[in-house]
Amino acid sequence: MERWVNRVAVVTGASSGIGAAVAKYLANNGLITVGLDLCKTGIETLRDELNAEARERIHAIQCDIRSEEQIIAAFKEIERTYGPVAVLVNNAGITRLTTLLAEDSSQDIRDVVDTNIMGAIYCTREAFRSMKANGEDGHVFLINSIVGHRVPILPNSTLNIYPSTKHAITALTEMYRQEFLNQKTNIKITSISPGIVDTSIYTEEIKKEMLNFSSLKRLKANDIADALVYCLQTPPHVQIHELIIKPMGEML
């Protein structure tokens, strides 16, 4: 991890769950870590869980990942205040209980698409610009899902737009790999696809939607942070393109 010490990492959706775990791990490993989230306070409270030295390395910017304008402004602020971006973790993601055919589903679908797909595209574009302009290596992560590779059959499901957005992330991972190479850079791209992770994305409504949720095998947010740090510390000639992580005994 030595080559990343004192370099800037950006984590979207960093106020809780996987994003919070990743932000803490990166700060503990010496990176200047900037969290982007609607809930700025949630990121700032992470400092209480770190040692004194690492606390100084976590920063928060309020940003709606659905907004291209806010993302552009946030990255300009990051570069101006902390320096060029070296690591980007596209973690922000939401889901909504709706079907694709419901007549009143337009706003819910737009929110999920804008957060899960467009937010990742805008953030990656801004991070790549910063990485390339500074002539350094870099690493972009896309937090994907196992449903981005195979859609499970769930009777009467209303989570239908979510796996569609995660399939888009799978395709984007390969397209970014090709574009990064075409731009003649040493920037890596990694998609991390967990099974069910015990985070707040699973609201009480969603738990009711998923039959026998309490009995399903689940990962912890720290499991994903561990995997991300492993990918980050690989040698410059090694690129982990896709990493699928399932809890033991998962049946999805």
> Which residue among the candidates 25, 162, 176, 202 is catalytic per the annotation?
162
Residue 32, SS3?
A: strand
- The answer to whether the beta carbons of residues 191 and 219 sit under 8 Å apart is no
Burial class (CB within 10 angstroms; exposed 0-12, middle 13-18, buried 19+) of 249: exposed
Give the integer Cα–Cα distance in Å for 204 and 35: 26
Is 202 annotated as catalytic? no
The DSSP symbol for 36 reads: E
Measured between its terminal Cα atoms, the distance across the chain in Å is 34
Q: Which residues are catalytic?
A: 162
